[in-house]
A = this chain, B = another copy of it.
């Protein structure tokens, strides 16, 4: 569970966010200039606060149960260009400048390797 974490997020945003049962919001990371969808991560209020205030894509790792600054280990950092909330206030779109590969496999995006369908 993540929602027990204290957050410094702007109360005006905190009041509007709609979270999953475990206190998270899905965050789509998109390369700001090419439009590539890079990955989907999860943010709790504090991860969103850190993303907004540090300019570095910061997520909550569901598997490791800890905050995760994208690129801290790999060097493949995300410089944040914009953050938008959707019409239902339950999804975030983070436009970033992604250094190197967004995917831990080394692929540019997490959606490159497993295409289920293509059609003209």
Contacts and interface: CB of A to CB of B under 8 A. Distances in A.
Interface in A52-98: 52, 55, 80-89, 91, 93
Contacts of A26: 26, 40
A11 interface: no
B35 A34 contact: yes
Contacts of A30: 35, 37
The oligomer's copy count stands at: 2
Contacts of A20: 20
Interface in A17-33: 20-21, 26, 28, 30
A43 to B, nearest CB: 12
A80 B40 contact: no
